[in-house]
Amino acid sequence: MSPQAEATEPTTVSHAACRSAWARLIAKVYEIDPLVCPRCGSEMRLIAVITDPAELRKILRHLLKVGRAPPGLDASALN
Protein backbone atom coordinates (compact mmCIF):
# COMPACT_ATOMS: atom_id res chain seq x y z
CA MET A 1 0.00 0.00 0.00
CA SER A 2 1.37 3.43 -0.91
CA PRO A 3 1.88 6.15 1.75
CA GLN A 4 -0.81 8.26 0.07
CA ALA A 5 -3.36 5.45 0.33
CA GLU A 6 -2.60 5.04 4.04
CA ALA A 7 -3.20 8.74 4.68
CA THR A 8 -6.67 8.69 3.13
CA GLU A 9 -8.01 5.56 4.82
CA PRO A 10 -10.44 6.36 7.65
CA THR A 11 -9.44 5.31 11.15
CA THR A 12 -11.87 4.17 13.77
CA VAL A 13 -11.36 4.82 17.43
CA SER A 14 -13.29 3.09 20.17
CA HIS A 15 -15.82 4.99 22.27
CA ALA A 16 -13.74 4.32 25.39
CA ALA A 17 -10.62 5.76 23.76
CA CYS A 18 -12.50 8.91 22.70
CA ARG A 19 -13.94 9.31 26.19
CA SER A 20 -10.54 8.87 27.77
CA ALA A 21 -8.88 11.35 25.39
CA TRP A 22 -11.62 13.94 25.98
CA ALA A 23 -11.31 13.65 29.76
CA ARG A 24 -7.49 13.86 29.60
CA LEU A 25 -7.59 17.03 27.50
CA ILE A 26 -10.14 18.72 29.78
CA ALA A 27 -8.10 17.73 32.84
CA LYS A 28 -4.94 19.15 31.26
CA VAL A 29 -6.53 22.47 30.25
CA TYR A 30 -8.63 23.14 33.35
CA GLU A 31 -6.48 21.22 35.85
CA ILE A 32 -9.51 19.27 37.07
CA ASP A 33 -10.79 15.81 36.17
CA PRO A 34 -14.22 16.29 34.57
CA LEU A 35 -15.22 12.70 35.31
CA VAL A 36 -14.75 12.92 39.10
CA CYS A 37 -17.60 14.22 41.27
CA PRO A 38 -16.49 17.40 43.06
CA ARG A 39 -18.70 16.52 46.06
CA CYS A 40 -17.91 12.88 46.80
CA GLY A 41 -14.90 12.10 44.56
CA SER A 42 -16.49 9.11 42.83
CA GLU A 43 -16.21 8.53 39.08
CA MET A 44 -18.99 10.00 36.94
CA ARG A 45 -20.24 8.76 33.57
CA LEU A 46 -21.12 10.79 30.53
CA ILE A 47 -24.78 10.07 29.82
CA ALA A 48 -25.67 12.76 27.26
CA VAL A 49 -24.28 15.51 25.09
CA ILE A 50 -26.51 18.51 24.43
CA THR A 51 -25.81 20.07 21.04
CA ASP A 52 -29.02 22.04 20.38
CA PRO A 53 -28.17 25.76 20.94
CA ALA A 54 -31.75 26.58 22.02
CA GLU A 55 -31.66 23.89 24.72
CA LEU A 56 -28.24 25.07 25.91
CA ARG A 57 -29.53 28.66 26.24
CA LYS A 58 -32.56 27.41 28.16
CA ILE A 59 -30.35 25.52 30.63
CA LEU A 60 -27.95 28.44 31.05
CA ARG A 61 -30.82 30.91 31.62
CA HIS A 62 -32.18 28.62 34.33
CA LEU A 63 -28.75 28.39 35.98
CA LEU A 64 -28.50 32.20 35.94
CA LYS A 65 -31.96 32.48 37.50
CA VAL A 66 -31.12 30.13 40.38
CA GLY A 67 -27.69 31.68 40.94
CA ARG A 68 -25.57 28.75 39.71
CA ALA A 69 -24.33 30.04 36.36
CA PRO A 70 -20.96 28.78 35.10
CA PRO A 71 -18.03 31.13 35.79
CA GLY A 72 -17.45 33.66 33.04
CA LEU A 73 -20.92 33.36 31.51
CA ASP A 74 -22.01 36.62 29.90
CA ALA A 75 -25.77 36.84 30.49
CA SER A 76 -26.23 39.23 27.56
CA ALA A 77 -24.96 36.53 25.18
CA LEU A 78 -28.04 34.40 25.95
CA ASN A 79 -30.54 36.77 24.33
Helix H or strand E encompassing 64: helix 53-65
- The DSSP secondary structure of 17-28, one letter per residue, reads HHHHHHHHHHHH
Q: In the Cβ-directed half-sphere of 41, how many Cα atoms lie within 13 Å?
A: 0
- Evaluate if pTM is beyond 0.85: no
Tens of pLDDT, residue by residue over 5-18, are 555 666 777 777 77
Nearest CA to 50 out of 62, 41, 36, 42 is that of 62
Inter-residue contact 61 to 78 (CB < 8 Å): yes
Tens of pLDDT, residue by residue over 16-37, are 777 678 778 888 887 888 788 8
Helix H or strand E encompassing 53: helix 53-65
Taking residues 31-55, report their average pLDDT.
87
